[in-house]
Amino acid sequence: MRERGALPPITQSPRVHHLTNRIMRIRSRDSEQGEIINISSMIDVMFILIIFFLVTTTFKEEEVDHLVKLPVESRNQSLTQTAGNLIKVNIRDNGAYVVMGQAVTEEKLTEWMKEEREKKPEIKVLVRCDKESKHLYLANVMSICRFVGVPEANIAVRTEK
């Protein structure tokens, strides 16, 4: 007698036997492919590193005094300088000398150029003089460069394109 809820016994028909053999032959895919490496955590770390380097990187900004309006040069030649050995001196229309964003006097400019010349003997000076300023201020900066011993001093102009 059968218990209540029990299944009837399976009879071994050729069709059922064929299906059970087929099911038994299925292999697991893990044994053929080996172990799967989870790289999602490594990708997370790489994105965090990329974001960290983007946030902490400082880009060198060019020193530009927007109050200085350069005169236009007629031959459209531009000056090329190496940034590491270049000092930029801005002369505003009122005659104020500006170096690295700070207004300085002629005396402080002379002292600072001496110090920079001692640190870097091959230093170059680029004078950005406002087109409305007097030539006296430009001549003073060039005189300071000569006094300190700067090997090369140039005057910046705006090229029209």
Of 71, 109, 58, residue with least CA distance to 88: 109
What is the structure's pLDDT at 19? 54
Q: What does the pLDDT look like over 6-20, one tens digit per residue?
A: 666 655 555 555 555
What is the structure's pLDDT at 62? 62
Q: What does the pLDDT look like over 131-156, one tens digit per residue?
A: 888 888 888 889 998 998 988 888 88
Q: What does the pLDDT look like over 44-73, one tens digit per residue?
A: 999 999 999 998 887 766 666 666 665 555
DSSP codes joined into one string, 64-128: --TT--PPEESS-------GGGEEEEEE-TTS-EEETTEEE-HHHHHHHHHHHHHH-TT-EEEEE
Q: What does the pLDDT look like over 75-122, one tens digit per residue?
A: 444 444 445 688 889 898 888 899 888 889 999 999 989 998 898 888
Domains observed in the chain: 14-56 (no CATH), 72-159 (3.30.420.270)
